[in-house]
Amino acid sequence: MEKSVEFQNSAGEKQLSKEDQELVLSLPRVKNWDYPFLYQYQGFWCASEFFHGILSFQRHFQAKDTDILLATFPKSGTTWLKSLTYTIANRSRYTLENSPLLTTASHDLVPFTDLEIYGKNKFSTLEHLLTPRILATHLPYASLPHSIINSNCRIVYLCRNPLDQFVSYWHFISKLQQAADPVSIDEAFEMFCQGVQLFGPIWDHVLGYWKASLEKSNKVLFLKYEDLKEDIIYYIKKLADFIGCPFTNEEDAQGVIQEISKFCSFDNMKNLQVNQTGKLAWVENKLFFRKGKVGDWTNHLTPSMSKRLDNLMEEKFGESGLRFDDLYTITKDQKKN
């Protein structure tokens, strides 16, 4: 397989230059259950098909001060964050009744800048995005293009309890692969605990943005999926303030924030026709809507698996000030029992 790796972009075109192919082939790699191989590039694991987009994004992207970058580890609530940010930022352009989200998936309205725009050479998309441009990435903070770090553009990071993130990812990839014999959750979990997952290790990803948010709180807003589930009204206001589109007292009194929370809710988004039957280029939209719950890991992971991950998270996050007691409320309750 060494020299027969096909360096296609996600549109299936072979695009990596000879030099970049050599770069990728020089990287450490592992066989994994989600992609045939993952390559370790700048400390994170990446599939061969994403290199064209990522390298091109890193080398050429020019951020504007007005840009908003949504950054997530896969399956941490990206789809939800995209809908919320798009709706908040464009509420003077579109009412909820004529929102483009009613007919277009949030992944199409807020495309992944690296994988989708640079990965498929769709540069005209960048020119056609509304202002503020809302961009998205799964890249770790340390691997973002320099112009994002050096400009005044803002970054919103959403993380999720790694136990639920893992379960969500395992379901997603298993459905995507449609394999007769999908990989067992135990096998996938073993690799996850070793830090091997697309864009992982998850703890490095989370810590990179966590530290950046502490150092530059005006630039990086750090959010947790579980917190949004707990008090979405508070976090919609916080998000709106952070991206420079605060709600007026009048909007607040009129219930605009509540309406946005309902509009972007899991049930409402999941049941839209576009998300029931529509497709992105590579996947059906409905795969991005499974349960949308906190704590589904209890239905899939054994107590010994959750304990192992708990210990691992304590080891990785212990010193950082990022409190995982908040995230692991269910684990804590279980421990009490």
Alpha helices in the chain (DSSP H): 18-25, 51-60, 78-89, 106-109, 123-128, 146-150, 162-177, 185-193, 202-215, 225-230, 232-242, 249-254, 256-263, 266-271, 273-277, 303-317, 329-336
**What would the two tokens of residue 135 be?**
């961009």
Interface size with ligand PAP, residues (CB under 6 A): 21
Between CA 291 and CA 225 the distance in angstroms is: 13
**What would the two tokens of residue 173 be?**
């990839």
Binding residue for ligand PAP, selected from 111, 119, 145, 292, defined by CB under 6 A: 292
Question: Least separation, in Å, of the C-beta of 188 and ligand PAP?
Answer: 14
| Matching residue, tokens 């698996």 | 305
Contacts (CB under 6 A) with ligand PAP, residues 153-192 = 164, 168, 171
Catalytic residues: 138
| Residue 22 or 231 with smaller CB distance to ligand PAP | 231
Nearest Cα neighbor of 165 from 193, 135, 134, 141 is 193
Contacts (CB under 6 A) with ligand PAP, residues 84-143 = none
Alpha helices in 97-224 (DSSP H): 106-109, 123-128, 146-150, 162-177, 185-193, 202-215
Question: Least separation, in Å, of the C-beta of 194 and ligand PAP?
Answer: 21
Binding residue for ligand PAP, selected from 79, 87, 285, 306, defined by CB under 6 A: 79
Contacts (CB under 6 A) with ligand PAP, residues 244-283 = 264-266, 269
| Matching residue, tokens 């549109």 | 11
Does the protein bind ligand PAP through residue 223 (CB under 6 A)? no
**Contact region with ligand PAP (CB under 6 A), list: 203-211, 286-294, 301-309, 316-324:** 286-294
| Cβ neighbours, 10 Å, residue 106 | 28
Q: Beta strand 37-41 with 44-46: parallel, antiparallel or unpaired?
A: antiparallel
Question: Least separation, in Å, of the C-beta of 312 and ligand PAP?
Answer: 20
Does the protein bind ligand PAP through residue 306 (CB under 6 A)? no
Phi, psi of 27 (to 5 degrees): -85, 150
Binding residue for ligand PAP, selected from 211, 238, 290, 308, defined by CB under 6 A: 290
Nearest Cα neighbor of 315 from 170, 208, 227, 204 is 204
Give strand pairing partners of 154: 68
Does the protein bind ligand PAP through residue 285 (CB under 6 A)? no
Question: Least separation, in Å, of the C-beta of 62 and ligand PAP?
Answer: 25
**What would the two tokens of residue 62 be?**
């020019």
Contact 48, 5 (CB under 8 A): yes
| Residue 16 or 33 with smaller CB distance to ligand PAP | 33
Question: Least separation, in Å, of the C-beta of 117 and ligand PAP?
Answer: 15
Question: Least separation, in Å, of the C-beta of 236 and ligand PAP?
Answer: 12
| Residue 126 or 280 with smaller CB distance to ligand PAP | 280
Contacts (CB under 6 A) with ligand PAP, residues 307-326 = none
**Mask: binding to ligand PAP, 37-76, rule CB under 6 A, as x and -?**
-----------------------------------x-xxx
Does the protein bind ligand PAP through residue 78 (CB under 6 A)? yes
Contact residues for ligand PAP, defined by CB under 6 A: 72, 74-80, 164, 168, 171, 264-266, 269, 288-292, 296
